[in-house]
């Protein structure tokens, strides 16, 4: 497997798993510390740095890792993230207005979704051999 593609997959999987874990912790405990949210951002940055390092260490892996299918999946990941955020915004708006969801929970959920949706798309695309 291509080292850059493997690093990209691991980074996306790590961000997605940690984000989903944060949501589970938030729902089960009714709250979460700000430190854990910073860890999610740190994992996202670490994933980018790891991909950069992999491209420096294995320069021959850059072009095969970014073929037309991977670029299309990357574009699709951002489109998926955008539409998830738009739909989640409206869903969370109604949950906070007409049900018992707090604004804190809504904003936390939306923030995690904004970070994790593209990573989930790319991880699934990699598993389907589309990235």
pLDDT tens string 69-84: 999 999 999 999 999 9
pLDDT bin (cut points 50, 70, 90) of residue 30 is confident
Q: What is the domain extent for residue 104?
A: 3-127
Q: What distance in Å separates the CA atoms of residue 119 and residue 9, rounded to the nearest whole number?
A: 9
- Res. 131: pLDDT tops 80: no
- Between helix 3-29 and helix 103-127 the angle, nearest 10°, is 150
Q: Percentage of the chain surpassing pLDDT 90? A: 82
pLDDT bin (cut points 50, 70, 90) of residue 5 is very high
Q: How many domains does the chain have?
A: 1
Question: Is the entire prediction scored with pTM above 0.85?
Answer: yes
């Amino acid at each position: 497997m291509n080292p850059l593609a493997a690093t990209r997959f691991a980074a996306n999987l790590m961000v997605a798993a940690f984000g989903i874990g944060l949501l589970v912790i938030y729902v089960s405990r009714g709250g979460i510390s700000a430190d854990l949210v910073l860890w999610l951002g740190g994992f996202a940055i670490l994933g980018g740095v790891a991909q950069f390092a992999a491209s420096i260490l294995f320069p021959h892996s850059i072009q095969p890792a970014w073929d037309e299918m991977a670029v299309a999946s990357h574009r699709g990941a951002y489109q998926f993230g955008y539409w998830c955020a738009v739909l989640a915004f409206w869903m969370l708006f109604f949950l906070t207005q007409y049900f018992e969801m707090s604004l804190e929970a809504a904003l936390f959920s939306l923030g995690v979704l904004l970070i994790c949706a593209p990573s989930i798309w790319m991880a699934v695309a990699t598993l389907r051999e589309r990235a």
